[in-house]
Structure 1
Amino acid sequence: MLSVPMRTAAFRMPTPLRLRLIRTTPIIATCQTRNISSQDVFKFSETAANASDLPPLPTPPVPGLSLDELIASGESVLEELGLWSWWKPSSYFRWALEGMHVHLDLPWWLTIVAATLTLRALLVGVPVMSQKLVAKQSMYRKEMNEFRDRIDEARKENNQLLQQQILLEQRDFLRSKDIRLGRQFLVMAANGAVFATQFFAIKKMIAVNYPGLSTGGILWFTDLTATDPYYALPFISAATMALVTKVGIEMGTSADQMPPIMRAFMSYGLPVVIFGVSSQFATGLCVYWTASNAVSLIYAGAFKVDAIRKIFGIPPVVPPPPSTAQKSAFSQVLKSYKDNKSIPPSIADLRQRDASSFKKAGRGKPIT
Structure 2
Amino acid sequence: VLRKNIVAGATSLCLCLWRITQSISTPFEPVNGAISDAVSIPSPSADPAPAVTPPITEQVAEAPLTALDVLQEVGAEVSLSELGLGSNTPVGLIQNLLEFMHVSIGLPWWGAIVAGTIFARCAVFPVIVKGQREAAKLNNVMPEMTKLTNRMNEAKQSGNKFEFSKAYTDLMMFQKKYDVNPLRGFLVPMAQAPIFISFFIALRKMAYLPVPSLQTGGLWWFTDLTTADPFYILPIAVTSTMFAILELGAESGVDNPNMRAMKTVFRIMPFVILPMTINFPTAVFTYWMTSNLFSLGQVALLRHPVVRQKLRIPERITHPSSALPPNEGFIKSIKKGWNNAQLAQQLEERERRIKGHLDMAAKGPLRQTFTHNPLQQSAAPVSTGKSSCSKQDQKRPWEETIG
TM-score, shorter chain, exceeding 0.5: yes
State the Cα distance separating 1:302 from its structure 2 match.
Answer: 0.8
Pick closer, same or farther for the CA change 1:114–1:254 going to 2, 3 Å.
same
Higher RCO structure, 1 or 2 (CA under 8 Å, sep 6+): 1
State the Cα distance separating 1:97 from its structure 2 match.
Answer: 1.3
Offset from partner CA, 1:109-167 (integer Å, 9 cap, x none): 23212221122123321211111111111221222232344456557767676556434
Distance in 1 (alpha carbons) for counterparts of 2:315 and 2:211: 46
Pick closer, same or farther for the CA change 1:220–1:183 going to 2, 3 Å.
same
Matched residue SS, 1:256: coil
Q: What is the aligned partner in structure 2 of residue 227 from structure 1?
A: 228
Pick closer, same or farther for the CA change 1:113–1:345 going to 2, 3 Å.
closer
Pick closer, same or farther for the CA change 1:314–1:339 going to 2, 3 Å.
closer
Distance in 2 (alpha carbons) for counterparts of 1:342 and 1:185: 23
State the Cα distance separating 1:322 from its structure 2 match.
Answer: 5.6
Unaligned segments of structure 2, at least 5 residues: 1-30, 32-63, 354-403
Q: What is the aligned partner in structure 1 of residue 113 from structure 2?
A: 112
Q: What is the aligned partner in structure 2 of residue 209 from structure 1?
A: 210
- Residue correspondence of structure 1 range 91-130 to structure 2 within 5 A: 91-130=92-131
Pick closer, same or farther for the CA change 1:83–1:321 going to 2, 3 Å.
farther
Matched residue SS, 2:255: helix
Pick closer, same or farther for the CA change 1:184–1:334 going to 2, 3 Å.
closer
Pick closer, same or farther for the CA change 1:337–1:118 going to 2, 3 Å.
same
Tell me the TM-score normalised to structure 2 length: 0.58
Q: What is the aligned partner in structure 2 of residue 331 from structure 1?
A: 329
Tell me the TM-score normalised to structure 1 length: 0.63
Q: Does 1:316 align with 2:318?
A: no
| Higher mean C-alpha deviation, range 160-169 or range 101-110 | 160-169
- Letter of the 1:317 partner, please give it: R
- Letter of the 2:82 partner, please give it: E
Q: What is the aligned partner in structure 1 of residue 295 from structure 2?
A: 296
Q: Does 1:282 align with 2:281?
A: yes
Distance in 1 (alpha carbons) for counterparts of 2:337 and 2:82: 62
Distance in 1 (alpha carbons) for counterparts of 2:236 and 2:163: 46
Distance in 2 (alpha carbons) for counterparts of 1:117 and 1:347: 47
- Is the Cα–Cα contact under 8 Å of residues 135 and 315 in structure 1 kept in the other structure? yes
Distance in 1 (alpha carbons) for counterparts of 2:295 and 2:237: 14
Distance in 2 (alpha carbons) for counterparts of 1:287 and 1:146: 46
Matched residue SS, 2:85: coil
Sequence identity percentage:
29
Offset from partner CA, 1:55-75 (integer Å, 9 cap, x none): xxxxxx9974647549954x6
State the Cα distance separating 1:77 from its structure 2 match.
Answer: 0.6
State the Cα distance separating 1:243 from its structure 2 match.
Answer: 3.2
- Which of 71, 77, 81 pairs up with 1:79? 81
Q: What is the aligned partner in structure 2 of residue 183 from structure 1?
A: 184
Cα RMSD for the two superposed structures: 4.1
- Letter of the 1:135 partner, please give it: A
Pick closer, same or farther for the CA change 1:206–1:65 going to 2, 3 Å.
closer
Unaligned segments of structure 1, at least 5 residues: 1-41, 43-60, 356-368
Pick closer, same or farther for the CA change 1:116–1:157 going to 2, 3 Å.
same
- Is the Cα–Cα contact under 8 Å of residues 214 and 223 in structure 1 kept in the other structure? yes
State the Cα distance separating 1:83 from its structure 2 match.
Answer: 0.9
Distance in 1 (alpha carbons) for counterparts of 2:309 and 2:288: 30
